[in-house]
Amino acid sequence: MWRSVFRGRSGRRASLRAAGRGLFALAAIYTLVAAIFTGVLLSKIEREAKFTRETQIPLILSQTRNAIKAERMASLVRAIYLARDRRLERQVQLQVQALAQGFPFDAGVNVVAGSKRVAILSKEIATARQQARDSAVQNSTAFTFEERATAAYSEAIKTLDDMGKELSGDAALAADRLAEEIQSGAARTRYTVLATLLIPGLSCIVFLWLARRHLANPILSAIANLNRINNNAPTVPHRTRPILTELAMIDDAIYSYGETTSELRRKNVVLQALAEEDSLTGLANRRTFETFLKASLSDLSRLGGTAVLMIDLDHFKSINDRYGHQIGDRCLQSLALVLSSIEDLSKPLSARYGGEEFVVVYNADSEEQALVDALFLCRRIEAMRIPVEGEQSMTITASIGVAFSGKNDPAEASDLILRADKALYSAKSGGRNRAVCDRAAHTGRHVSRAGGNPIR
């Protein structure tokens, strides 16, 4: 089918093919020219690198080695001057002479002459030290020989410093010359490459920009809008209308489809919220609660049983009469916030049952555990502070009826709600701010105020 469609639009297909062939030809020419000039430039760079490796780098390394030798000679001269043993002085003196003979002629006339002079001075230091030791043994003065050794040491150190400065200067000069040659070669290469590739490079950029703008961008925009529709996000129209008729039709169709989908999605969200949530508190509504309770009672994988906490604010009518319905709504919203933030409950659901009545259903281990949770909830509610105009804050309390259905004692949803409601009535009649279990309500057994112990 698609082949027949494309054959029916041979004119548009031919134009796209011609554009593709033209781009391919330009790319081939660009590649050939770039390869030729790159080969020439790399050959030149290779020759310069060979010259640097065979001439410049050995020169720098030679100067560096000579500088290291000079530092070594300075250390040996210090060792001769500080030594107090004739054998050690002789060994160090031989090392100095060996280093002095190791300087090549290309190191410079001053360096070679200085190394020989240092060798002679090291010998004078050793000789003066030996004469000083001999004079001390014969109880004659040795001060003159010590002065000769010190003078020879100072002259040797000064000579070595001059040698080091000359060698460092030569190495720095060679390194600077090498860096200058590399920099000039890099500049020539850069300008040549820019001059050679600027025109074809700009041409390729223009062609690629045209292809991206009029071919790739509409396709990518259509794909992005399809992904947005798939992710339930609104579609975004393309900034410029595609030149190609087929792409323009596809873009319009996808955008219209996305707008329709978004509108349907918004309506579904509103309907879902109206069907499942309470508009004031944001909790689940009564219908959602009853559906959830039936599913929980029929869940065979639950470990314990299902607990229902029926919660009613105490004296809520007097709050509305005294402070107004706006403060009353604030109390309901605060209670809803507490119920939605209860921790350590297994598979909980908090819902507004109607008016000032709320309900919590969850999986509990036992009836006793559900009663403990209800008492804890009473304390949480009593600890709330509701801001009131003209006053700092007010407190509210609530009464809670508890009903529990275990695996071994299954109950219908309506029966469990009725039991919780009766337990709530018992908590109200027993003084409010209490939690009462439905079985305790049948036996007249109540629970004291929040935090208290069960009493009869």
| Angle, in degrees to the nearest 10, between helices 57-82 and 86-101 | 160
Active site residues: 356
CA distance 167 to 185: 27
DSSP-assigned states of every residue in 72-139: HHHHHHHHHHH---HHHHHHHHHHHHHHHHT--GGG-HHHHHHHHHHHHHHHHHHHHHHHHHHHHHTT
R_g (Cα) of the chain, nearest Å: 49
178 falls in which pLDDT band (50, 70, 90)?
A: low
CA distance 295 to 248: 50
User: Looking at residue 359, what is its pLDDT?
Assistant: 95
User: Looking at residue 29, what is its pLDDT?
Assistant: 83
Rounded to an integer, the average pLDDT of 11-29 is 62
Query: Burial code of 431-445, b = ≥16 C-beta within 10 A, e = fewer?
Result: ebbbbbbbebbeeee
CA distance 410 to 402: 16
Across 73-77, 196-200, 222-226, 373-377, least confident range: 196-200
Contact predicate 238/221, CB 8 Å: yes
Question: How many distinct helices (H) and strands (E) make up the chain?
Answer: 14, 9
Q: What is the CATH number of domain 11-206?
A: 1.20.120
User: Looking at residue 4, what is its pLDDT?
Assistant: 39
**Tens digits of per-residue pLDDT, 136-146?**
655 455 557 67
In the predicted model, is pLDDT for residue 361 greater than 90?
A: yes
End-to-end CA distance of the chain: 85
In the chain, domain spans: 11-206, 286-455
Across 7-16, 263-272, 348-357, least confident range: 7-16
Contact predicate 181/49, CB 8 Å: no
User: Looking at residue 174, what is its pLDDT?
Assistant: 65
Contact predicate 336/281, CB 8 Å: yes
- Decide yes or no: CATH 3.30.70.270 for domain 286-455: yes
3-state secondary structure of 240: coil
Is 0.75 topped by the overall pTM? no
Q: Pairing state of beta strands 435-437 and 305-313?
A: unpaired
Contact predicate 309/408, CB 8 Å: no
Amino acid occupying residue 419: R
Question: Are 11-206 and 286-455 the same fold in CATH?
Answer: no
411 falls in which pLDDT band (50, 70, 90)?
A: confident
User: Across-strand partners of 307?
Assistant: 362, 404
User: Across-strand partners of 310?
Assistant: 359, 401
| Torsion region of 381: left, alpha or beta (phi above 0 gives left; psi -120 to 50 gives alpha) | alpha
Q: With 0-12 CB in 10 A as exposed, 13-18 as middle and 19+ as buried, what is 250?
A: middle
In the predicted model, is pLDDT for residue 95 greater than 60?
A: yes
Average per-residue pLDDT for the chain: 76
Q: Which CA distances in Å does 27 have to 32, 55, 207, 388?
A: 9, 41, 10, 76
CA distance 130 to 148: 11
In the predicted model, is pLDDT for residue 105 greater than 90?
A: no
CA distance 19 to 25: 10
φ and ψ at residue 73, rounded to 5 degrees:
-65, -40
**Tens digits of per-residue pLDDT, 183-201?**
776 776 766 667 666 766 6
Q: With 0-12 CB in 10 A as exposed, 13-18 as middle and 19+ as buried, what is 240?
A: exposed
Any residues with CB less than 8 A from the CB of 280 and at least 6 apart, and which? Answer: 329, 332, 333, 352
In the predicted model, is pLDDT for residue 166 greater than 90?
A: no
3-state secondary structure of 239: coil
What percent of the chain clears pLDDT 70, i.e. is strictly above it? 73
**Tens digits of per-residue pLDDT, 147-158?**
777 787 787 778
Question: Cα 110 vs. chain centroid, distance in angstroms?
Answer: 61
3-state secondary structure of 300: coil
CA distance 166 to 20: 66
